Amino acid sequence: MIPITKPFMPPRAEYEEYLEGIWQREYLTNNGPLVQELEAKLRAYLDIEHLLFVSNGTIALQIAINALGLKGEIITTPYSYVATASSIVWEGCTPVFVDIDEHTLNIDPNLIEDAITDTTSGIIATHVYGNPCDMEAIQEIADKYDLKVIYDASHCFGTEFEGKSVFDYGDVSTVSFHATKLYHTIEGGAVISRHEDVNHKISRMRNFGHAGPGNFEGVGINGKNSEFHAAMGLCILNYIDEILVSRKNQWLRYADFLTYANARGITIHPAANFNYAYFPVVFESETVMLKVKASLEKNEIYPRRYFYPSLSELDYMEGPLLNRTYDISKRVLCLPLYYDLIKEEQKKVISVIQENIKEVVYE
């Protein structure tokens, strides 16, 4: 069986060493020493000033929206994981969807200005599949209309833009460290702010608003994460360079084949040092995609329709369907990609796809 993804598992003995320390200290959560160590190491690895470890990537988004004081309408992409848009609704704001660029699958900045109204307070854009958005164009619009920018950088661990971490852009970036992501802490995430005051506010917010045992600064929530999750993150951080290299090799192996098929990949931003987090294939039609998917499944290979359906199709969302997203979300498939996926398995995936594409072409 070849699944869409498998979590990276560090050597068990290395995790057990951290458990030993946890049992000695009997300190399990509430900004413990391992959480602080992980935050410091992540800041150093990513070369960023502020990073707060939280319980997941969804609460990271919710806290970011809240901390920046976003209200009313928020412009966002319909092509992302559901959490990008549901967080906006959960925070009492209205998502206004703007269509994507057909080649990058990220929000199309050329369409943003037309969607701005008197009640627009911000833009939440996803760097889809780890590929950075056109951040220069987005920032220009944000500056012109005085809007805040949040990047859902959930897929982006390890991606760089113009030589620095992609997390170091916008007002706030958020990331998920869920087990399915390239770098994970089982469950977890982080909020990265570029301003000291916002970072301070978020550090209070993730801990019920506590400023000390008996005093509070503003409304908060429980967004903390535990020593056990931090320990997993510390173990895996030692392997991150290996993870990124293996992912790149696997990605390029798929890419070599797929340039010949009646399908295409995505266009990576030229200023990006991409993390090769996902391998999406955009087939020429939904029929071809479904055919390929069924054949792969018959061979016990499980790709995923990621992202489908598009978010403006959800029954609690309003507004029209957006043509490009509606069309593309119906014919994309992400191929299996994970640390211990071996060359033979990839060849099997490739040959099943190739057979099907041929059949369809000559039908």
Ligand X SMILES: *Cc1c(COP(=O)(O)O)cnc(C)c1O
Active site residues: 181
By C-alpha distance, which of 352, 357, 354, 349 is closest to 4? 349
Minimum distance of ligand X from residue 309's CB (angstroms):
15
Long-range contacts at 86-89 (CB < 8 A, ≥ 24 apart): 86/58, 87/58, 87/61, 87/62, 88/124, 89/316, 89/317
Q: Decide if 22 contacts 231 (C-beta within 8 A).
A: yes
Question: What does the alpha-carbon distance between residue 325 and residue 235 come to, in Å, rounded to a whole number?
Answer: 38
- Residue 117 CA to chain centroid, in angstroms? 28
- Shortest Cβ distance from residue 49 to ligand X (Å)? 23
Q: What is the closest distance, in whole angstroms, from the C-beta atom of residue 2 to ligand X in the complex?
A: 21
User: Does 81 sit near ligand X (CB under 6 A)?
Assistant: yes
In angstroms, give the least distance from the CB of 187 to ligand X: 7
Q: Which of 66, 104, 120, 126 binds ligand X (CB under 6 A)?
A: 126
* Residue 151-180 contact track with ligand X, rule CB under 6 A, x = bound: -x-xx--------------------x-x--
Q: Would the CA dihedral through 241, 46, 122, 92 be positive or negative?
A: positive
By beta-carbon proximity to ligand X, the closer residue of 173 and 176 is 176
Could you give the strand order of the β-sheet that contains 279-283, starting from the edge strand earlier in sequence? 263-264, 279-283, 332-335
Question: Which residues face 149 on adjacent strands?
Answer: 123
Candidates 81-89, 220-228, 263-271, 278-286; binding stretch for ligand X (CB under 6 A): 81-89
The count of chain residues that interact with ligand X, using the rule CB under 6 A, is 14
Q: CA–CA separation, 356 vs 292, rounded Å?
A: 6
Asked if 133 interacts with ligand X (CB under 6 A), we say no
Binder of ligand X out of 5, 31, 58, 121 (CB under 6 A): 58
188/353 with CB nearer ligand X: 188
Residues 59-78 that bind ligand X (CB under 6 A): none
Residues that bind ligand X (CB under 6 A): 56-58, 80-81, 83-84, 126, 152, 154-155, 176, 178, 189
